């Protein structure tokens, strides 16, 4: 993956090299270390929900809509179009999914939700690419129009059907799920609460028990996006439109066409995310997206405009959100976990010369430890903020070398290089 990138982003290769990217073995070692720390904290604090299969499963399903929205943002921004309208396109997806989903089944709904999302993307593409409207303004407009439109359509379509209402659809059927045969055995191991072994069983159990087919589809979409954007000539051209559109133009790339494709795919993915949310909730409800499109955008920045890291960001958000929802008391051990993570960040930042950040990290880590020792539980009023706090800490302290596509957010006009 890294070699392919270096060839495209020639002008930026120098600053990029400084932030030496993690090689696969290092990444595995890092993940293993994080897992062992997690196990240790779980065993030490008795906060068994930290690695329970229930938490992992809930985190995964919470991450799917966010990750898909973020992936939508990735496609669009890699082609140089900022898509702040993800939330609106997601709402179109939730409504579309319910429209066909309630009587034709979840998969028909998923398809139609994706289609409506793509339509939202098309509107954004026409406005930003053809008419050169500021990307933020167009996106905001879509975020305003979409909920109103969905609400209006709900009143027109769902009111007379059983279970439908002014602000909700009739129930949508299930999309189906798979449970691997050894999941019962994993649950048995998980319940022993052995260090590391039970934790591993919990994580695996969460992944293979009643795994929604929609989640599986989302994972495939992430892999497919990574492959298309970084391993094909099409992807190379698309990303060149986000880095240096005029250079791409001089080499014969039809920048308009690629931007159109990217933004429409972006809308489709956001719509798919919305549809996944509606299927998980078993219905469309007005306002059910609750800002997940914006969180997807945050996951995109968190992931440094790359699919793998973006998925990790969505996963982290989903995981922390699942923990705080499942059990308020499990947030307390999370303080300790946070302190350890911050201490590691501090060491790493100190060694790379970012001393100020290291000091801040240490201070927060110490405060977290003191808080942990001094209390039995985190107040309910703060528990709900867990995923946001974690996201902000990671963005502020650990990801200092974010680099957005170079021409992201700029209006492109053929032959008018400035």
Per-residue contact flags (x/-) with other proteins for residues 237 to 276, judged by CB under 8 A: ----------------------------------------
Considering only residues 329-368, where is the footprint of other proteins by CB under 8 A?
none
Residue 169 has what DSSP assignment? P
Query: Alpha helix locations (H) across 282-414?
Result: 292-302, 307-326, 331-351, 355-374, 380-383, 386-393
Residue 151 CB, nearest distance to other proteins (Å)?
6
Q: Does 160 bind other proteins (CB under 8 A)?
A: yes
SS3 label, residue 212: strand
**Cα–Cα distance, 89 to 146 (Å, whole number):** 7
Q: Does 374 bind other proteins (CB under 8 A)?
A: no
Closest C-alpha among 87, 38, 77 to residue 307? 77
Task: Give, for 115, the enclosing helix (H) or strand (E).
Answer: helix 106-125
Q: Does 39 bind other proteins (CB under 8 A)?
A: no
Q: Does 290 bind other proteins (CB under 8 A)?
A: yes
Considering only residues 70-129, where is the footprint of other proteins by CB under 8 A?
82, 84, 87
Q: Does 69 bind other proteins (CB under 8 A)?
A: no
Backbone angles phi and psi of 139, in degrees to 5: -65, -45
Task: Give, for 194, the enclosing helix (H) or strand (E).
Answer: none
Q: Does 47 bind other proteins (CB under 8 A)?
A: no
- The only residue of 114, 168, 183, 198 in contact with other proteins, by rule CB under 8 A: 168
CA distances from 316 to 86, 244, 367, 378 (A): 20, 32, 22, 20
* Cα-based angle 145, 146, 149 (whole degrees, multiple of 5): 85
Per-residue contact flags (x/-) with other proteins for residues 188 to 217, judged by CB under 8 A: ----------------------x-------
- The only residue of 11, 19, 132, 163 in contact with other proteins, by rule CB under 8 A: 163
- Check if the beta carbon of residue 233 is closer than 8 Å to that of residue 4: no
- The only residue of 287, 347, 355, 414 in contact with other proteins, by rule CB under 8 A: 287
Q: Does 166 bind other proteins (CB under 8 A)?
A: yes
Q: Does 175 bind other proteins (CB under 8 A)?
A: no
**Cα–Cα distance, 298 to 314 (Å, whole number):** 9
- The only residue of 103, 384, 413, 417 in contact with other proteins, by rule CB under 8 A: 384
- Check if the beta carbon of residue 383 is closer than 8 Å to that of residue 328: yes
- The only residue of 61, 349, 386, 391 in contact with other proteins, by rule CB under 8 A: 61
Q: Does 144 bind other proteins (CB under 8 A)?
A: yes
**Cα–Cα distance, 74 to 82 (Å, whole number):** 9
Q: Give 212's strand partners.
A: 177
Closest C-alpha among 171, 174, 176 to residue 161? 171
Using the minimum distance from each CB to other proteins, give the nearer residue, 62 or 68.
Answer: 62
Backbone angles phi and psi of 55, in degrees to 5: -65, -45
Using the minimum distance from each CB to other proteins, give the nearer residue, 322 or 336.
Answer: 322
Residue 409 has what DSSP assignment? T
Which residues of the chain form contacts with other proteins (CB under 8 A)? Answer: 49, 52, 54-55, 58, 61-62, 82, 84, 87, 136-137, 139-140, 143-144, 147-148, 151-152, 155, 159-160, 163-168, 171, 210, 277, 280-283, 285-288, 290, 294, 297, 301, 321-322, 325-328, 380-381, 384, 402-404, 408-409
């Amino acid at each position: 993956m890294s070699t392919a990138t270096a060839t495209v982003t020639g002008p930026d290769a120098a600053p990029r090299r400084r932030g030496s990217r993690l090689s696969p073995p290092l990444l595995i070692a890092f993940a293993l270390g994080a897992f062992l720390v997690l196990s240790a904290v779980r065993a030490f604090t008795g906060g068994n929900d930290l690695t329970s299969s229930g938490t992992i499963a809930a985190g995964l399903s919470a991450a799917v809509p966010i990750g898909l929205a973020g992936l939508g943002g990735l496609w669009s921004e890699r082609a140089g179009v900022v898509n702040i309208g993800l939330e609106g396109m997601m709402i179109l997806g939730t409504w579309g999914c319910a429209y066909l989903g309630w009587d034709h089944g979840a998969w028909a709904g998923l398809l139609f939700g994706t289609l409506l999302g793509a339509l939202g993307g098309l509107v954004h593409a026409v406005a930003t690419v053809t008419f050169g409207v500021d990307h933020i303004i167009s996106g905001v407009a879509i975020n305003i129009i979409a909920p109103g439109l969905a609400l209006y359509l709900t009143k027109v379509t769902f009111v007379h059907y059983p279970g439908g209402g002014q602000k909700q659809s009739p129930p949508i059927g299930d999309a189906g799920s798979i449970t691997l045969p050894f999941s019962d055995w994993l649950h048995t191991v998980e319940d022993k609460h052995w260090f590391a072994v039970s934790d591993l069983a919990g994580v695996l159990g969460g992944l293979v028990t009643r795994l929604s087919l929609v989640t599986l589809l989302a994972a495939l979409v992430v892999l497919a996006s990574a492959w298309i954007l970084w391993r094909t000539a099409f992807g190379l051209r698309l990303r060149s439109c986000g880095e240096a559109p005029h250079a791409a133009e001089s080499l014969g790339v039809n920048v308009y066409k690629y931007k159109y494709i990217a933004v429409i795919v972006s809308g489709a993915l956001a719509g798919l995310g919305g549809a996944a949310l509606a299927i998980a909730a078993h219905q469309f409800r007005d306002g059910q997206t609750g800002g997940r499109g914006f969180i997807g955008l945050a996951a995109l920045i968190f992931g440094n405009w790359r699919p793998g890291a973006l998925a990790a960001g969505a996963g982290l958000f989903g995981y922390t959100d699942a923990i705080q929802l499942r059990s308020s008391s499990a947030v307390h051990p999370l303080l300790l976990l946070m302190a350890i993570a911050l201490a590691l960040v501090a060491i790493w930042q100190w060694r790379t010369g970012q001393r100020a950040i290291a000091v801040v990290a240490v201070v927060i880590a110490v405060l977290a430890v003191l808080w942990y020792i001094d209390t039995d539980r985190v107040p309910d009023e703060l528990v709900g903020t867990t995923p946001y706090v974690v996201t902000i800490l990671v963005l502020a302290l650990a990801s200092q070398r974010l680099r957005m596509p170079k021409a992201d957010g700029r209006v492109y006009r053929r032959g008018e290089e400035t």
